[in-house]
């Protein structure tokens, strides 16, 4: 069993990005600048955004964090987005999701200029991705592709079962794995909450991407020997033995699944850190493309 170490791989990628930033600076070119908008005080979102801003500092990017109160109106948020769209110093920006219920998430996603949409969530980028055209790939699926590539996990002709059809992970992952690309060229099944006989499917899978958000859902009896497991889940589960009062649980029951796995991502330290590294990579790309 080989651990797909997202922590180490993301560190390697950040070193590569830092080197590119150094070169940009030597050549007198612009320093990449990422902005993030956070609405409200959701604990997990605050943690993610803080990690993204810290990662910018580490690789030599400029960063701007815009924190807005929970009760911010949709109009005010759209106004902030427009300011970032028009600010030439900002190469890319993200609006951390989920948003408070009174804000229309789709409207917000569509307000971001696609050339600055380093999350790859805008319909223009999603459409371009589906058509194999150059675009910003959503960071989590992009990070998974990068992990599979760097660990040389064979995907061509393999059966990939993606569990979960979210716009951020499951849906794009299913499209990307079916495309002709290094980590891709696979036969893909996308399963979700209405799928019948899920276990029949997962038992046939060479690669499983678990992205449904139910802690420890995938158990050892549901997978075949030699499977590759990508665990996208990261749920806070109450744990009185921890100082924080919680632990992070993946969608995979690691103890029973890992002994049957050829490759497996841990939680934490698997997909999570890769997401941040690929967001930085998209921001570097946005900066380099904006001449
Ligand atoms: N919420 C969970 N994942 C993400 C992400 O990749 N980007 C943004 N903006 N919000 C998220």
pLDDT on residue 89? 98
CB of 44 sitting under 6 A from ligand 1: no
Compute, in angstroms, the gap from residue 98 CA to the centroid of ligand 1. Answer: 8
CB of 58 sitting under 6 A from ligand 1: no
State both tokens at 234.
């990261």
Pick the atom of ligand 1 nearest to 97's CA. Answer: 10
State both tokens at 129.
């991705």
> What mean pLDDT, rounded, does the chain reach?
97
Closest CA to 95 of 115, 60, 120, 71: 120
CB of 96 sitting under 6 A from ligand 1: yes
State both tokens at 275.
């997401």
Compute, in angstroms, the gap from residue 196 CA to the centroid of ligand 1. Answer: 29
Pick the atom of ligand 1 nearest to 138's CA. Answer: 6
Percentage of the residues of the chain whose pLDDT score is greater than 70: 100
The answer to whether the beta carbons of residues 206 and 159 sit under 8 Å apart is yes
Residue owning the nearest CA to atom 1 of ligand 1: 97
Torsion region of 60: left, alpha or beta (phi above 0 gives left; psi -120 to 50 gives alpha)? left
Q: With 60 as the cut, is the pLDDT of residue 253 above it?
A: yes
Compute, in angstroms, the gap from residue 288 CA to the centroid of ligand 1. Answer: 23
CB of 282 sitting under 6 A from ligand 1: no
Which residues have C-beta within 8 Å of that of residue 111, sequence separation ≥ 6? 78, 81, 82, 85
CB of 211 sitting under 6 A from ligand 1: no
Confidence band for 172, pLDDT divided at 50, 70 and 90: very high
Report CA-CA distances (Å) from 168 to 64, 85, 121, 223, 232.
23, 22, 7, 25, 11
Report CA-CA distances (Å) from 39 to 47, 94, 100, 107, 123.
13, 11, 7, 15, 22
Pick the atom of ligand 1 nearest to 95's CA. Answer: 9
Confidence band for 291, pLDDT divided at 50, 70 and 90: low
- The secondary structure of 244-283, three-state, reads CCEEEECCECHHHHHHHEEEECCCCCCHHHHHHHHHHHHH
* Residues annotated as part of the active site: 52, 96, 119
- d(CA 230, CA 244) in angstroms, rounded, equals 26
Count helices and strands (H / E) in the chain.
Answer: 10, 11
- d(CA 109, CA 19) in angstroms, rounded, equals 31
CB of 139 sitting under 6 A from ligand 1: yes
> Tens of pLDDT along 51-97?
999 999 999 999 999 999 999 999 999 999 999 999 999 999 999 99
Q: Which domains does the chain have, with CATH numbers?
A: 28-114 (3.40.50.10860), 139-272 (3.40.50.720)
Which residues have C-beta within 8 Å of that of residue 74, sequence separation ≥ 6? 102, 103, 104, 107, 108
pTM: 0.97
Compute, in angstroms, the gap from residue 212 CA to the centroid of ligand 1. Answer: 15
Q: Which residues of 104-141 are buried (b: 16+ CB within 10 A; e: fewer)?
A: ebeebbbbbbbbbbbbbbbebbbebbeeeeebbbbbbb
Pick the atom of ligand 1 nearest to 139's CA. Answer: 6
> Tens of pLDDT along 104-144?
999 999 999 999 999 999 999 999 999 999 999 999 999 99
Confidence band for 290, pLDDT divided at 50, 70 and 90: confident
Strands 187-191 and 159-163: parallel
Compute, in angstroms, the gap from residue 10 CA to the centroid of ligand 1. Answer: 17
End-to-end CA separation in angstroms for the chain: 45
């Amino acid at each position: 069993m080989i651990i797909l170490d997202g922590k180490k791989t993301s560190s390697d990628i950040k070193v590569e990005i830092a080197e590119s930033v150094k070169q940009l600076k030597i050549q007198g070119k612009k320093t990449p600048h990422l902005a993030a908008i956070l609405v409200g005080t959701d604990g997990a979102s605050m943690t993610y955004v803080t990690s993204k801003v810290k990662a910018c500092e580490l690789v030599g990017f400029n960063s701007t964090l815009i924190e807005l109160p929970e009760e911010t109106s949709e109009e005010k948020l759209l106004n902030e987005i427009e300011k970032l769209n028009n600010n030439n110093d900002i190469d890319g920006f993200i609006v951390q999701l989920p948003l408070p219920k009174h804000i229309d998430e789709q409207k917000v996603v569509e307000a971001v200029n696609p050339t600055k949409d380093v999350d790859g969530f805008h319909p223009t980028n999603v459409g371009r991705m589906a058509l194999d055209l150059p675009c910003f790939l959503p960071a989590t699926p992009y990070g998974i592709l990068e992990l599979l590539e760097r660990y040389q996990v064979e995907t061509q002709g393999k059966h990939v079962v993606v569990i979960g059809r979210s716009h951020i992970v499951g849906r794009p992952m299913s499209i990307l794995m079916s495309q002709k690309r290094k980590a891709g060229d696979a036969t893909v099944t996308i399963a979700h909450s209405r799928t019948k006989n899920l276990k029949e499917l997962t038992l046939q899978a060479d690669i499983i991407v678990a992205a449904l958000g139910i802690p420890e859902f995938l158990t050892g009896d549901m997978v075949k020997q030699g499977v590759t497991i990508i665990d996208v889940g990261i749920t806070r589960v109450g744990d009185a033995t921890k100082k924080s009062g919680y632990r992070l649980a993946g969608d995979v029951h690691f103890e029973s699944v890992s002994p049957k796995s050829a490759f497996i991502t841990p939680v934490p330290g698997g997909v999570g850190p890769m997401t941040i590294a690929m967001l930085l990579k998209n921001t570097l790309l946005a900066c380099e493309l904006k001449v």
